[in-house]
Chain A
Amino acid sequence: MKNSAILLSILSACSVVLAAGQEVKVAAPATKGTLKIISSLPRTGSANAQTSTMVNGINLAIAEVGGQVDGWTIAYEDMDDASPQRGNWDPAVEAQNANSAVKDDTCVAYIGTFNSGAAKVAIPILNRAGLVMVSPANTYPGLTKPGFGEANEPDVYRPSGKINYFRVVPTDDLQGVEAANWSKFLGAKKVFILNDRELYGKGITAVYRKQAESIGMEVVGFEEIDSKAANYRSLATKVKATKPDMVYFGGTTQSNAGQVAKDMRSGGYEGMFMVPDGCFEQAFIEAAGAANLNGKTYITFGGLPPEKMTGKGAEFCAAYQSKFGAVPEAYASYGYESARVILLAIAQAKTKDRSGILAAVAATKDFNGVLGKWSFDANGDTSSRVMSGQTVQDGKFVFVKVLGN
């Protein structure tokens, strides 16, 4: 009974989808041909919430140029680097995506990845093919910056000797420092640091810890949590017993930041709570419960929040809101920015040649984007140093100040 009902619903859903698909396919006006942008993000499983907004951002960027740049039709393929059995990114699938992008002659750019671990798999493959890769989310410094990761990084990602990997997000080493400085500014003397044991959380807390100690805050505890635990009550008790006035959690909504924030409160901790940009999304507030965050929660973000944007940023906000019916979140802006950088490069390269487009991306200078005016530096990192600090009031993010100055 039930099985057949499920099957029926699958079938009907499929047919609906197919019918819809046929309508969408509209014949494009004749152009010089098609250039394809491929994104590879984990679309199955728990990261889906974040990656959906990124894909929205990318789609918006392409729609804004009317799907055409310099006479080329821009095609976009949204690849999934997660597999259903894993429910998270899968290195084999990521490699497969990268290889198929390389093989696809029309593909000129690759947007991805979400996880820095996946980037390590994809970058060398794309590098050998000279295909440009722009990441909207990787923050592990070792991918681009010498001296921050392992001894052999980042050279191992550049087997061809050229740089093909760029990112529009500031790396952990910047955000961690700013977060620590801001904590001190907010009056924190004793800080308890938590992270989710992911590459992102670990990296950012390591930087935070170092900076916190060097500017004279006392680190009263450092714990690495299990991001799948049901709750963190006992950890909250431990935190409370050390009497910190700031708890810094390096992690994302996906790695249970909401639960951590919530349990700190229900466990009786009443001080400040700070998280990095992995939590700068409405889903974090929703997961944590607005009441638990109001007032004493601080979020750092590599860029300006939507409502503080002027010029290009404000336009993006309005367009996003009218198209998707929601305020764009951090990841949406990152996704949008990545796509725009690529589109601009295509326009400037005047070629369908991968190396030409790669060179054009690398030459991005004073790009007037939603994250500010920035350029790619010699390592492929964004030159943008704008960090903003937010807090939460009445279930909404509220801009507090621009950090670092």
Chain B
Amino acid sequence: MLDFEVFSQQLITGLSNGMIIALIAIGYTMVYGIIELINFAHGDVFMLGAFLALTLLGALGMEAWGPSGQVFGVALMLIGSAVFCGGLNWSLDRLAYRALRKSSKLSLLVSAIGCSFVCMNLGLFWGGAPMKVFANGNSAAAPKNFPAIIPQINLLGDGFLRITPADLLVFTVTIPLMVGLTFMVKRTRLGRAMRAVAQDPTAASLMGIPVDRVIGATFFIGGALGGFASVIYSLYNNTIGFQMGTRAGLDAFTAAVLGGIGSLPGAVLGGLTIGCVRSMSDQYLETRWTNTIVFCILVLILIFRPNGLLGSTRREKV
């Protein structure tokens, strides 16, 4: 096999992983853009989405469905998890964040951390559900296998280079979502309202924009993207666990910051960058240093571009 093949394989892996990170990162970046909150609970909402997907899969017995039925099943999980995560994220905003809009950003942050713990614990309980897919609830804390209903076979035959249906799934779901989201933010009334609230909530409310509803909608959309991501993540990695939200959230947050927090294309670029850096570092350096390298690159980029790759310099009015 050629070295080039190894490189391309790592690039494909990196891009797939990066796309998933980017999808979670968008949820962070949207919420941050509008109320400047690092939504720590986002990763855990994402985790619960994956649990819902597995529950659906188990309850409906999707493993037994034929290939075309499973495509339908994937669509069902995507929609189910998106609605669920969106709703959950919206409720978190309604219950835990809205009352703190006027207080300091740090109180809001602690509230988000609290939500993160609560969601994580709910995931632990969920993992103990007496279902076959959860190993009959025998060990709630153990990681759960997510059946590979999108098979991990090589579409390119027997060569070294592998592209699996799961890789394709990542791209076919993620790219339209991102395009659609960009369109929504740029073109629709809700998108304009969101940008207005992000710029200046007071002015926006004076202009008759229902600020709380717009923020709620942002949480819903951010959460829904997390829900999509959770299904794709599960189908790609085939393992879920109640603590996976922390790490996924951390990666996504890093991606959001790397790209310039608040910027949608930035989050995507950041996610892809991190995915590729990880792959390349795994291949050409040592795996144990991968995290360190990712963060060193983050610091380096921020030294030279303090607002991230695509972040705008926000000029403070003086």
Contact = CB atoms under 8 A, between A and B. Distances in A.
A binds B: yes
Given A268-B162, A286-B135, A286-B145, A226 B286 contact: no
Given A45-B141, A49-B140, A197-B288, 6 more contacts: A3-B95, A46-B243, A259-B239, A268-B160, A289-B147, A326-B138
Using C-beta atoms within 8 Å of the partner chain, give the interface range for chain B: 35 or more
B144 interface: yes
B138 A229 contact: no
Given A46-B243, A262-B238, A230 B91 contact: no
A360 to B, nearest CB: 34
A229 B91 CA distance: 29
B297 interface: no
Contacts of B118: 6
Interface string B2-15: 00001001100110
Contacts of B9: 237
Contact of B14 (A3, A234, A262, A266): A234
Contacts of A224: 286-288
Interface in A293-337: 326
8 contacts: A1-B91, A223-B287, A225-B287, A231-B237, A258-B143, A265-B152, A289-B145, A289-B147
Contact of A223 (B20, B238, B244, B286): B286
A226 B162 contact: no
Interface residues of A, number: 47
A288 to B, nearest CB: 7
Contacts of B282: 234-235, 238
A39 interface: no
A25 interface: no
Interface of A: 1-3, 6, 45-49, 52-53, 84, 87, 197, 223-226, 228-231, 233-235, 237-238, 240-241, 253, 256, 258-259, 262-263, 265-268, 282-283, 286-289, 291, 326
B247 A258 contact: no
Which of B9, B117, B160 has most A Cβ within 10 Å?
B9
A283 B142 CA distance: 6
A49 B142 contact: yes
Nearest to B152: A266
Interface string B258-275: 000000000000000000
A268 B154 contact: yes
A97 to B, nearest CB: 20
